[in-house]
Structure 1
Amino acid sequence: MPAAGERSAARREATGRRLARFAALRGKAARPGEFWDVVAVTAADAEQALGYRQQLAEKLSRKELPLGVRYHVFVDPPGPKIGNGGSTLHVLRCLEDLYGDKWTSFIVLLIHSGGYSQRLPNASALGKIFTALPFGDPIYQMLELKLAMYIDFPSHMKPGILITCSDDIELYSTGVTETVAFDKPGFTALAHPSDLTVGTTHGVFVLDPSSFSGEGGLAYTSCHRFLHKPDIETMRQCGAVCVRGNCSQLRSSGDHSDSEMDSECVYTDSIFYMDHSTAKQLLTFYKQMGTLCCEIDAYGDFLQALGPGATQDYTKNTSNVTEEESRLVEVRQKLRSLLKGTMFNVIVLNNSKFYHIGTTQEYLFHFTSDSKLKRELDLLSVAFSVFSDEAETLDQSASIIQSILEPGCSVGAGSVIEYSRVGPGVSVGKNSIISGSHINLKVDIPSNCFLSSLSIKINDQVKYVSMVFSVEEDFKKSVKLLSDIHSLKFFGVGLLECLDLWGVEVSDQLFSSENTRLGLWTARIFPVCSTLSESVRMSLKMLNSVQHMSAFKLNAFKLLSVEEMLTYKDVEDMLKFRKQIYDKIRLQRRKEKSDL
């Protein structure tokens, strides 16, 4: 088995080839069978869908995407959340409504991007699939990277749907003669070797070693059973644990010693494909159901029904469900009956890595630390930005993405600045995220700071709000009663103490949520301002008052929660600000060329 360094170098080389192939297609019409017939992105609501469509239109006008492709944004139906499984079913119906029977001949890429990105809020307003990456000229976003990484798939795929999420990256290499083909009936999933601890937060395949038809970088096999976020003991008991580098050598629950532990792995999920026959079955099921009133998980509820070893225990297990609806068990059981016996194929990619960038910590680590992802994607410290050599300090581990940094500013180690203008006299601490902001005052931004600015529209007037938190904040944490908010913290300080410093009254009006979700996400604490730079200044003053325990009264301001900021967001104005930065960078580039 090749050494880790050789495997990483092979992934980097394969990734570079795919990026080059995609770059050659940008702004050109793809030949039949060369690219996707349909690229579909899901959105949670009409406002989010509008923002997605505007960004897609802009990319197409700049010729940043392949042409001649049907790009669609499909909105989840109004009402209760339906999960990515429900969204998948809804997209199938939308495709049939748009194209009739013709859709069954399409090769479709379906990207789930309908969440509000509470764990990475700089992606909340404009979508995780439009998260900027520190490379490319102009910069790539997650959408372009997805399209590039899957560039080899369409020409080896029978009509069907390939399903992926918007906040993960899969890098892999195979042998020269090996091909990843999605051409079998039923479901086909990619599998990646992972540590056992990683398996506890992913789907894990229990493989059938007797059916392997390949060795080395790639192997085709059938799946005996799929485990969704299992504990380590369950992985062992079910026979999911393998010897790293030899997936056909499975281990029983008692067959391991301390010396072998480091070589153990499980094969975890990422993207999966279903052929059109299976998709039509699921569409018929969706039509019969009428309205979905519960969250369905495309991985947990589709894949757990598959394989000869599948049991029905999962249908009653609601430990991974955010809200347990009364009909969830019934819907799961119907899905299991429908899918039972469907073929379940797995493509084992032995030299592959799965990266998740859905949280602030993952985002900072992969973009700034000396991570495998940074090396294999050749991520840059300064990507499509104006950065003066006169700037006081730019730590090499920092990441600057489509931003303008003026002379006299400094950026600390491990920080990311995207779509921002940073003026002289600004010092950004370590491990911070600055997004969509205009900072034109002399200020020291502390380490571990998350600052993200949004344009909003209220009563047809454009205003600005900047959210500021610690990057370590748990935005999903909430309480149900007003009397329990003493457990909430803002930058390590109790929220009640902060409210007192800001002169904000504790009342029923403090939180915007109507469903008793009281937390930092729904707390009305951020001041609405008339300019972008002013909103940054006010929010940083809030933070400063907490750090120095000095009063800064917010009585004169209208205050919004993050939840409300997203409701009122003005996508057009935010994209206008990004375009101003884009145009200034282009102008600066032309000036530099003419000066040479």
Structure 2
Amino acid sequence: MPAAGERSAARREATGRRLARFAALRGKAARPGEFWDVVAVTAADAEQARAYRQQLAEKLSRKELPLGARYHVVVDPPGPKIGNGGSTLHVLRCLEDLYGDKWTSFIVLLIHSGGYSQRLPNASALGKIFTALPFGDPVYQMLELKLAMYIDFPSLMKPGILITCSDDIELYSTGVTEAVTFDKPGFTALAHPSDLAVGTTHGVFVLDPAGFSGKGGLEYTSCRRFLHKPDVETMRQCGAVHVRGSCSQLSSSGDHSDSEVGSECVYTDSIFYMDHSTAKQLLTFYKQVGPLCCEIDAYGDFLQALGPGATQDYAKNTSNVTKEESRLVEVRQKLYSLLKGTALNVIVLNNSKFYHIGTTQEYLFHFTSDSKLKFELGLLSVAFSIFSGKAGTLEQPASIIQSILEPGCFVGPGSIVEYSRIGPEVSVGQNSIISGSHINFKVDIPSDCFLSSLSIKMNNQLKYVSMVFSVEDDLKKSVKLLSDIHSLRFFGVSLLECLDLWGVKVSEQLFSSENTQLGLWTARIFPVCSTLSESVRMSLKMLNSVQHMSAFKLNGFKLLSVEEMLTYKDVEDMLKFRNQIYDEIHLQRQKEKSDS
């Protein structure tokens, strides 16, 4: 097996080729079979769908996407959350409603992007699939990267659906004569070698040992059973643990080596394909069951039913479920009965890396510190921006994405600034995220700070509000009783102490959620202001008061929670701000070209 450096270089070369193929197709009509017939993006609600459609329309008008594909945003039905499995079923129904029987001849890419991105809130307002990446001119967002990385698939795929999520990146290389083809009945999934710790938070394939060697770039094999977020003991017992570069499965004692080759690994999931006859079976099931009232997971609930070693035990296991609904077990059992005996084919990409960027920590690490991703994807420290200063340090650079930074400002190592205007007297600490903000006053932004600004419309008036947190704060954490809110932390300090400093009363009105989800996501603590820079100034004053334990009273301000900010968000104005930055950078680029 080639050394790690050679494998990384091969991934870089393969990635560069795919990006070039995609770049050649942008703004042009693809030939039949060369690109997707349909690209469907899911949205959680009508407001999110509107934001997605607007951004798609802008990309198409700017010729940033290949033409000819039908781009659809499919909004989940109103009512309880249905998970990405429920969204998958709903998309199938919408395709049939739109195209009748014709949809069964389509090659479809389905991207799940319906979450509210509580773990990466700078993507909450405009969507994770529209997260900016630090490369490209103009900058790529996750949507373009997905389309580029899967550019080889449509021509080697029988009609069917390829399912992916919006916050992960798969880079891989194969041998010269090897190709990833999706042409078998049933399900076909990609598998990546991963450390055992990664396996505990992903799906893990128990591969058929007879048809798998663990060597080379690419292997086709079948899967005996799919484990969803298993513990290490379960992986060992089921025979899912392998030695890198060798087909021998490990016993529960497991020899362990520090070097990559010879160390233990499991094969974890990323994207999967289903052919049309399987999709039609699922659609029939969806019509029979009627409106879903529980969350179904496309990975945990579809794939766990597959393979000869599958059992029905998982249907009753709700340990990985965020909210257990009464009908979940029943729906899972029906799905198991429907899918039992369906094949789960696996394409093992031995030279591949799976990157997840769905949290603030992952986002910061992969875009600033992760030298491997930077090398393989060609990430830049300054991407499509106006900035003449120094971003961070050579050891750990910062990442500046589609922003205008005036001379004199400083951005600390490991920080990300995106879609922002930063004045000359601004200093950003280490490991911080600044998104969609205008900062034109003297300020030292502390390290580990998360700052993201939104335009909102209230009573038909345009206003602004900026959320500020620590990148470590848990926005998903909530309590059920007001008396328990002392356990919530804002920048490491008890929320109760913060509220006292800000002069905010603890009452039922403090939180916007009606279902007793009391947490940072639903706390009404952010002041509404009449300008973008003023909203940043006020929110940074709140943070400063917590850091220095000095009072900064919010009396007189209308206060919103993050949940409410998203309800009131003004997509048009936020995109207008981004476009102004884009135009200014574009003009400067043109000027530099003509001067040279």
| 1:89-108 deviation line (CA, Å, top 9, x unaligned) | 00000000000000000000
User: Helix, strand or coil: the match of 1:114?
Assistant: coil
Q: 3-state SS of the aligned residue for 2:529?
A: coil
Residues 234-313 of structure 1 correspond to what in structure 2 (within 5 A)? 234-246=234-246, 248-256=247-255, 263-313=263-313
Q: Which has the larger displacement, 208-217 or 438-447?
A: 208-217
> Within 5 A, what are the aligned runs for 1:511-526?
511-526=511-526
Counterpart for residue 466 of structure 2: 466
Offset of 1:252 from its aligned partner? 3.0
List aligned pairs for 1:516-555, cutoff 5 A. Answer: 516-555=516-555
CA contact (8 A) 1:136 1:384 kept: yes
State the match for 2:318 in structure 1: 318
* 1:392–1:30 Cα change, 3 Å: closer
Q: What residue in structure 2 maps to residue 105 of structure 1? A: 105
1:57-92, CA deviations, whole angstroms, 9 ceiling, x for partnerless residues?
Answer: 000000000001100000000000000000000000
Equivalence for 2:196: 196
2-structure distance, mates of 1:208, 1:228: 17
Partner of 1:435: 435
Note closer, same or farther for the CA distance 1:548–1:238 as it changes in structure 2 (3 Å cut). same
Q: Give the conservation status (yes or no) of the 8 Å contact 1:164–1:271.
A: yes
- Contact 1:86–1:297 at 8 Å: present in 2 too? yes
Q: SS at 1:400's partner residue?
A: strand
Is the 1:42–1:111 Cα contact (8 Å) retained in structure 2? yes
SS at match of 1:364: helix
Partner SS for 1:133? coil
Q: 1:421-432 residue pairs with structure 2 within 5 A? A: 421-432=421-432
SS in 2 for 1:505: coil
Q: Offset at 1:392?
A: 6.8
The whole-number CA distance in structure 1 between the counterparts of 2:236 and 2:21 is 41
Is the 1:419–1:578 contact (alpha carbons within 8 Å) kept by the matching residues of 2?
yes
Q: Tell me the distance in 2 between the aligned counterparts of 1:256 and 1:12.
A: 31
Counterparts of 1:590 and 1:549 in 2: how far apart (Å)?
A: 49
Q: Distance in 2 between matches of 1:318 and 1:265?
A: 26
Change (3 A) 1:357 1:257: closer
- State the match for 1:366 in structure 2: 366
Check 1:260–1:121 CA distance in 2 against 1; reply closer, same or farther (3 A cut): closer
The answer to whether the Cα contact below 8 Å between 1:449 and 1:468 also exists between their aligned partners in 2 is yes
Residue in 2 aligned with 1:228? 228
Distance in 1 between residues matched to 2:299 and 2:224, nearest whole Å: 15
Q: How does 1:42-191 map to 2 (within 5 A)?
A: 42-191=42-191
Q: So what's the TM-score if we normalise by structure 2?
A: 0.98
Shift of 1:209: 1.9
Q: Is the 8 A contact 1:392 1:407 kept in 2?
A: no
Contact 1:217 1:350 in 2 (8 A): yes
2: CA distance, partners of 1:71 / 1:259: 46
Q: Secondary structure at the match of 1:358?
A: coil
After superposition, the C-alpha distances for 1:3-38 in whole angstroms (9 at most, x for unaligned) are: 000000000000000000000000000000000000
SS at the partner of 2:292? coil
Counterpart code for 1:221: T
Within 1, Cα distance between the matches of 2:119 and 2:229? 19
The one-letter code of the counterpart of 2:557 is F
Question: Which runs of structure 2 are paired with 1:210-225 in the superposition (5 Å)?
Answer: 210-212=210-212, 215-225=215-225
**Alignment partner of 2:510: what SS?**
coil
- Alpha-carbon contact 1:214-1:220 (below 8 Å) kept: no
Moved more, 456-465 or 586-595: 586-595
- Return 5+ residue gaps in structure 2 as ranges: none
Q: CA deviation at 1:370?
A: 3.8
Q: Is the 8 A contact 2:257 2:264 kept in 1?
A: no
CA contact (8 A) 1:52 1:73 kept: yes
Q: Which amino acid aligns with 1:202?
A: H
Q: CA deviation at 1:594?
A: 2.3
Q: Cα offset for 1:309?
A: 0.4
Q: Is the 8 A contact 2:391 2:413 kept in 1?
A: no
Assess, with a 3 A threshold, how the Cα gap between structure 1 residues 392 and 338 changes in structure 2: closer, same or farther: closer
Instruction: Work out whether residues 89 and 283 of structure 2, in 8 Å CA contact, stay in contact via their aligned partners in 1.
Output: yes
Shift of 1:591: 1.7
Q: CA deviation at 1:253?
A: 2.5
Matched residue of 1:353: which SS? strand
CA drift of 1:374 comes to: 1.2
Secondary structure at 1:544's aligned position in 2? Answer: helix
2:376 counterpart of 1:376? yes
Report the equivalent of 2:404.
404
Query: Distance between the aligned counterparts of 2:569 and 2:256, measured in 1?
Result: 55
Q: Report if the CA contact (8 A) 1:426-1:443 is conserved.
A: yes
Q: Is the 8 A contact 2:85 2:301 kept in 1?
A: yes
Change over 3 Å in CA distance of 1:338–1:135 after alignment to 2: same
By how many angstroms is 1:137 displaced? 0.2
Contact in 1 for aligned 2:433/2:450 (Cα 8 Å): yes
Q: Which amino acid aligns with 1:333?
A: Q
> Contact conserved, 2:256 with 2:263, CA < 8 A, in 1?
no
CA distance in 2, matches of 1:564, 1:422: 26
Give the distance between the partners of 2:475 and 2:208, measured in 1 at CA: 41
Is the CA contact (8 Å cut-off) linking 2:364 and 2:431 kept in structure 1? yes
* Structure 1 pair 123–338 and aligned structure 2 pair: CA distance change class (3 A): same
Q: Is the 8 A contact 2:11 2:351 kept in 1?
A: yes
User: Displacement of 1:444 after TM fit?
Assistant: 0.2
SS, match of residue 179 in structure 1: coil
Letter in 1 for 2:197: T
| SS state at 1:132 partner | coil
Q: How far apart are the structure 1 equivalents of 2:57 and 2:470?
A: 34
Q: Report deviation, 1:257.
A: 5.8
1:23-34 to 2 correspondences below 5 Å: 23-34=23-34
The answer to whether the Cα contact below 8 Å between 1:392 and 1:408 also exists between their aligned partners in 2 is: no
- Opposite residue 217 of structure 2, the aligned amino acid is G
Deviations 1:345-384 (A, max 9, x none): 0000000000000000000000000431111001000000
What's the counterpart of residue 475 of structure 1?
Answer: 475
SS at match of 1:189: strand
Matched residue, 1:448: 448
Deviations along 1:470-508, whole A, 9 cap, x unmatched? 001111111100000011111111111111111100000
Judge conservation of contact 1:213–1:221 (CA < 8 Å) in 2.
Answer: no
CA contact (8 A) 1:467 1:526 kept: yes
Q: Which amino acid aligns with 1:251?
A: L
Give the whole-Å Cα distance in 2 for the aligned partners of 1:513 and 1:536.
24
| C-alpha deviation, 1:256, in angstroms | 3.5
1:258 Cα deviation from its structure 2 partner: 6.7
Is the Cα–Cα contact under 8 Å of residues 257 and 263 in structure 2 kept in the other structure? no
Aligned-residue identity in percent: 88
Q: In the alignment, residue 565 of structure 2 is paired with which amino acid?
A: M
Give the number of equivalent residue pairs.
593
Matched AA of 1:467: M
- Asked if 2 retains the 8 angstrom alpha-carbon contact of 1:189 and 1:347, the reply is yes
How far did residue 395 of structure 1 move? 3.5
Q: Is the CA contact (8 Å cut-off) linking 2:215 and 2:245 kept in structure 1?
A: no
Match of 2:9 in 1: 9
Quote the Cα distance in structure 2 between the aligned partners of 1:240 and 1:214: 12
| Segment drifting more, 214-223 vs 411-420 | 214-223
Q: Distance in 1 between matches of 2:257 and 2:173?
A: 31
In 2, distance between residues paired with 1:78 and 1:371? 43
Match of 1:415 in 2: 415
